[in-house]
Structure 1
């Protein structure tokens, strides 16, 4: 997928010591430990969140219409969140600001994963996506190599710096650093954008948009044009928004995990899992099982997360995986999506064009995607909000 050199792969997959076959390599163990520590709820997570949210406000202000504008929602979100990720990761040195064509290089590569995963000569079977990936790698390795503050204290984020330090410790090349950064960028964008798309699509088509607007309005403290909110309070006091996030991942998450059975184990229903066998767990199988969620399992119903009668077993919801392979960025992504939508919905009126039939696009599956994609984009109308003293054009957000 990333085009890592064979000599580097030896470091990535080499067994650490005799008698420890199947354990993580020293590099992967160091990387996993560091990522889980930095992305767990805590100070480093908070710093990265603040950096991303400040970037979100700046990029959104740049992309907001001066009056009213019609956009393709998915395309607009791709540009928005890619620019935000670049600014949040690299500050003013973001390559997506100096070379905007790299935004679409990323999404070209992201949408053509099959030949890369199969390693089926992608240079020849997907030449445009291959060249796009290599352009990204070349630029990103330069970004991560230059980690010094500028005159204004602008700095590459702590997660990229710590990942770079681990790669350097294990004598990995500068080229690999660029590919590793692309992996991190992919983790920030590939599933986030479609998840936000589905949240907004269902919000526009659903009967709960008013509730979300009220929750967002209550969560933001405004003093003139100075605005702020606490993300912890958003989690606690915006139940409809949180439920829309959870329901979007329940209905559209499409990842899968494979687990090796380390000893014979009998399940409660009598099924015996033999030592050495592999257990393949597609997320959609458990998320769309009527035994777990009831006969309305295929309906988008945020209220199932807000009523006691919809209580479900924790094992029936696993959009980020489970066990040792669980996604380390799940807490950060949750806060990033909620926080960005609070700013977005507070700053913009988002509507379907007049005369448009209310509905949500059907889905299609993309290889290596953790969230299903729509079969077609959705046209929406954006307009800056002006409410009393508040004008989104003059707003100053603090996080």
Structure 2
């Protein structure tokens, strides 16, 4: 063997043994178990790159542990799978010990400079998360939620007939993605919505695939060059939006958050960057959730028939006029959650079965969890939703299969109120405050499509795409490929004009 090669191998062996010694020497026996390590401190990063969203669940399935430790350079991760341990972490008694840690994520992908990051950390430390508080205030319940939902439904009602043409062929994800993007952002950003410009919407689509690079890549300027250019286009559009007063015509949450960010010390240009976080909150999961929900409905003839029957039962015929031959059918969409149990059950099952949400908290001081596990200060606690949603002790032997009847049973419905069993929107103070707005709009879009169109697979049969390349950061896994479909307008005995609205006569959930 060449001496240089021998020396390199010797150095590699010594480095490996030294890292293994450092790893195990700094791991307390009282901490959650440290799993088998092949590359000290880098196993997790390699596993995430290889397996993406399935990495943590694969560890759970392989080792069958309730909680375990992952070590990365300068960071401990405690991954919790057991419902009873999750309850301890989420209890009010531990609210100041396990603190949500999403600020760094938002600042990283938004591109804030160092001074702005410092300002936000100081402000949020003293006053709390302004973004979450604003969304809670305007979108969690009440008249403002109703107003936002109505604005989004009006956008959908106007755009769907124009974009869903008879005999159109398109990818199912792409069909619902554009509709939801314009409806959700239009409702929030108002008549000057930057995303109404196709160039800006394209910039957003270029940006999203690069988020993983911004999180994990040592050289994001090289590996995510296209994404960073897309982000710049979106941020520039929001700078102009605020400069010209577009936000003054928007949903009141937008100007309030903008002024709060400026009061924290952000410049106008830096405050515009925070709309990347608002946009991600609105757009990261809605279209993907709609895709999977539509796929399961359309690929199950019985479910589709039952859902159509439920929707048709709440439709009202408006009186015919002698001046027109059109028959007008009206659907008040805010009655869906109460009067369409199969559709709502399929929405909940879609969220349970597919959701890959990970709840992240930081340990504020050394603490003992459940009188057994030592958790060290500044470590990160990760709670993978999949471990709970596919737990057979909670959901029965069919937990790992999709069952559209599941949430029609009283027992499963009870689990909806338990974040130790059902957590597609997270849990605790970080539980997604915009979940009602999002699900209202998703169910409205699905109802409009199901009632007006037959949607058939171009391949001749429905084949579910895989999700191997889904991003770890997203709460819903994007399919590895889109499913090509073609649309056919449902034939009616008499030409029908549909009227969809979000009225005042039913409670909003």
TM-score (norm 1): 0.87
What CA distance in whole angstroms lies between the structure 1 residues aligned with 2:204 and 2:413? Answer: 39
Q: How far 1:187 sits from its partner (Å)?
A: 1.1
Q: Are the equivalent residues in 2 in contact too, given 1:252–1:371 (CA < 8 A)?
A: yes
Q: Are the equivalent residues in 1 in contact too, given 2:190–2:250 (CA < 8 A)?
A: yes
Structure 2 alignment gaps of length 5 or more: 1-108, 319-326, 503-509
Equivalent position to 1:51, from 151, 161, 164: 151
SS in 2 for 1:196: helix
Query: How does 1:174-253 map onto structure 2 within 5 Å?
Result: 174-206=268-300, 207-223=302-318, 224-225=327-328, 227-231=330-334, 233-253=335-355
SS in 2 for 1:302: coil
- Relative to structure 1, the CA distance from residue 292 to residue 59 in structure 2 (aligned partners, 3 Å threshold; closer, same or farther) is same
CA distances 1:336-369 after superposition (whole Å, capped 9, x unpaired): 211222222223222223x612332222321421
1:112 corresponding residue in structure 2: 210
- Relative to structure 1, the CA distance from residue 141 to residue 56 in structure 2 (aligned partners, 3 Å threshold; closer, same or farther) is farther
Equivalent position to 1:300, from 396, 402, 424: 402
1:398 corresponding residue in structure 2: 501
Q: How far 1:309 sits from its partner (Å)?
A: 4.7
2:194 corresponding residue in structure 1: 95
What CA distance in whole angstroms lies between the structure 2 residues aligned with 1:252 and 1:366? Answer: 13
- Relative to structure 1, the CA distance from residue 363 to residue 7 in structure 2 (aligned partners, 3 Å threshold; closer, same or farther) is same
1:316 corresponding residue in structure 2: 421
- Aligned pairs, how many? 379
Q: How far 1:275 sits from its partner (Å)?
A: 7.1
Q: How far 1:13 sits from its partner (Å)?
A: 0.9
Structure 1 alignment gaps of length 5 or more: 17-23
Q: Are the equivalent residues in 1 in contact too, given 2:465–2:480 (CA < 8 A)?
A: yes
Equivalent position to 2:256, from 155, 162, 167: 162
- CA RMSD for the aligned pairs? 2.5
Equivalent position to 1:347, from 452, 471, 491: 452
Q: Are the equivalent residues in 2 in contact too, given 1:109–1:129 (CA < 8 A)?
A: yes
Whether 2:138 is the aligned partner of 1:38: answer yes
1:21 corresponding residue in structure 2: none
What CA distance in whole angstroms lies between the structure 1 residues aligned with 2:344 and 2:426? Answer: 19
Equivalent position to 1:130, from 228, 231, 234: 228
What CA distance in whole angstroms lies between the structure 2 residues aligned with 1:157 and 1:177? Answer: 17
What CA distance in whole angstroms lies between the structure 2 residues aligned with 1:33 and 1:310? Answer: 31
What CA distance in whole angstroms lies between the structure 2 residues aligned with 1:316 and 1:245? Answer: 16
My pick for the range that moved more, 54-63 or 140-149, is 140-149
Whether 2:485 is the aligned partner of 1:380: answer yes
My pick for the range that moved more, 163-172 or 319-328, is 163-172
TM-score (norm 2): 0.69
Q: Are the equivalent residues in 2 in contact too, given 1:48–1:158 (CA < 8 A)?
A: no
Equivalent position to 2:172, from 64, 73, 80: 73
SS in 2 for 1:35: helix
What CA distance in whole angstroms lies between the structure 2 residues aligned with 1:29 and 1:189? Answer: 20
What CA distance in whole angstroms lies between the structure 1 residues aligned with 2:230 and 2:255? Answer: 24
Q: How far 1:227 sits from its partner (Å)?
A: 2.1
- Relative to structure 1, the CA distance from residue 185 to residue 222 in structure 2 (aligned partners, 3 Å threshold; closer, same or farther) is farther
2:49 corresponding residue in structure 1: none
What CA distance in whole angstroms lies between the structure 2 residues aligned with 1:285 and 1:4? Answer: 34
2:388 corresponding residue in structure 1: 286
What CA distance in whole angstroms lies between the structure 2 residues aligned with 1:177 and 1:102? Answer: 18
What CA distance in whole angstroms lies between the structure 2 residues aligned with 1:366 and 1:81? Answer: 20
1:326 corresponding residue in structure 2: 431
